[in-house]
Chain A
């Protein structure tokens, strides 16, 4: 079975209603090439205290290189177009495409089009320190 589907189903089964972070309502630009929305978070009921964190990434025209992912991550392209490069493999992504990334992976985004954001919904499982 497609690992993306398995992972997505698992996330959906676990996810309680997400909460908007009260600490920020502004988008930020943590690395050149990507604007990131404030997080939506949902705790999971586990002794390891993992939380599900959801962001939207907006990739403008240009390249965002070697973006780290903080945990096990599901990405879904919601609008626009982007090339992703993961472990040296460059792939075009169209709306509706989704893919998973393991903790510690880095990903490069490239959006060739002006005034057309690539909107990526990013769902990560992060462990509390």
Chain B
């Protein structure tokens, strides 16, 4: 009983530490909820952003000049005004964001020069898969870092997933570096062996209960698909917690974890999973696996990995590769605790988080497959699982941001992805997650300058988003854009909720409606597209670009 009581007290404490409750931005999406909101920002007010936000520093990977080898897929994390981010060249960088050395390296790992291997067996070889890795989830570091306390002997540790260049040409492991000097503290056992079909790609670690939770996905996306696994690593020493385990399917493949897990208010793990097949002529697609947690959002018991509920909108027979690749946003809003996220076919779901054991709802279940219903979907779906329609790789893969009850998410919207000519992967929606269905949709923004903008972030009613084109690593002009939510600046333009029609009479006649477009406060140039989350910390916005730059902006 004493142990249980201590544990109950410890969970909120650990959660508070991981959240930071500070001006730092300590993890992918700020903290383990993935709200991508900086709640403690004071300098970046809407007037300050509009009047004076400007470039404060710019760091470029040495040799950067385009090409995947020098790009960033990961998002920066910020601690004490230092940006921490790994690159696809297999090097992890710590970059000063302020002071006389702003824009300069604090350290890099592996070091540029060393005479002998360190405690993790690394000399200077990059953390990169030698051969057979897909881009832009490889070949190097695509996993954003979590910066945490709790590793004995180190004030702060930097935790991320990456290939081990010293191990079979790139076995996938979790790494812990000292945030101050970049020295390797530990590396985990191999989680994604090179001999298999998996790697640690975009999955970023989430830290709770003194454990690091991280997933694996296909080494070379879809060629072949892998079986998704979620692992728990002990934070203190990097050993694997073998009491925890989650396997997405019983084979032959499916449920790769491209996303970063999140933690619920009661400490459990929310994870999303990828597809199980892409083509009914392929061997993977002949029979549904007996255990099929692919294409799903799931809540797992944090101790064991046991599945507590599963939402699987697209059944196996309609799997045309609509991975649930976006990381979930999870936490408390005014109408309860929700887990939310967009699936790659463009539908957004919100699921109620309840206390207690496993549960499902017959209404959303299929024979031999007990599934839970979401509280709502956007757009509305009359019956789940789907019985038809278009559910393919439409590239809705960005994590949402959350401010109060306001969700900011790139999604397919009212037209869904059923009409390719109208499918816009740059359309950002704001949803009232606790509002009625008639009032859920708040505003719409078509993000300019690229078809694949990065995930949004927010502070003080300002929404930051980077422009980006998929698979483009060139040092071309892109933009960090700052928009005002309609609560802080009155909009002066509108757009029809159906993308095929202009606003006004025709829109209303067809049964759709005009919605406001948020006001652009600032448009700032950057070198290369921004595939990750703009991190907001202590009066500065940090972005990492696909062309290998880390840039900071201050008022």
Contacts and interface: CB of A to CB of B under 8 A. Distances in A.
Interface of A: 26-29, 32-35, 37, 56, 58-62, 64, 77-81, 92, 94-97, 111, 113-117, 119
Contacts of A58: 415, 419, 498, 500, 510
Given A77-B388, A115-B513, A117-B416, A60 B379 contact: no
12 contacts: A27-B501, A33-B511, A35-B500, A35-B510, A37-B419, A60-B414, A60-B510, A80-B379, A115-B378, A115-B413, A117-B498, A117-B512
B275 to A, nearest CB: 18
Given A29-B506, A58-B415, A94 B501 contact: no
Interface in B406-448: 413-419, 421, 437-438, 440-441
Q: Which residue of B382, B415, B421 has the most chain A CB atoms within 10 A of its CB atom?
A: B382
Contacts of A29: 501, 506, 509-510
Interface residues of B, number: 33
Contact of B414 (A34, A81, A115): A115
Contact of A79 (B383, B416, B509): B416
A114 B416 contact: no
Given A32-B509, A115-B512, 17 more contacts: A27-B500, A33-B510, A34-B510, A35-B512, A37-B419, A60-B414, A60-B510, A77-B389, A78-B388, A80-B380, A92-B382, A94-B383, A97-B387, A97-B388, A113-B382, A114-B438, A116-B414
Contacts of A80: 379-380, 382, 416
Contacts of A115: 378-380, 413-414, 437, 440-441, 497, 512-513
Nearest to B389: A95
Contact of B437 (A33, A62, A114): A114
Q: Which residue of B497, B501, B509, B513 has the most chain A CB atoms within 10 A of its CB atom?
A: B509
Contacts, number: 114
A60 B512 CA distance: 5
A117 B379 contact: yes
A92 B380 CA distance: 15
Q: Which residue of B380, B390, B506, B513 has the most chain A CB atoms within 10 A of its CB atom?
A: B380
Given A60-B498, A95-B388, A114-B438, A78 B510 contact: no
B419 A56 contact: yes
A62 B389 contact: no
A58 B388 CA distance: 17
Contacts of B421: 37
B380 A81 contact: yes
A108 to B, nearest CB: 13
A80 B412 CA distance: 12
A84 B417 CA distance: 22
Given A115-B441, A115-B497, A119-B419, A62 B388 contact: no
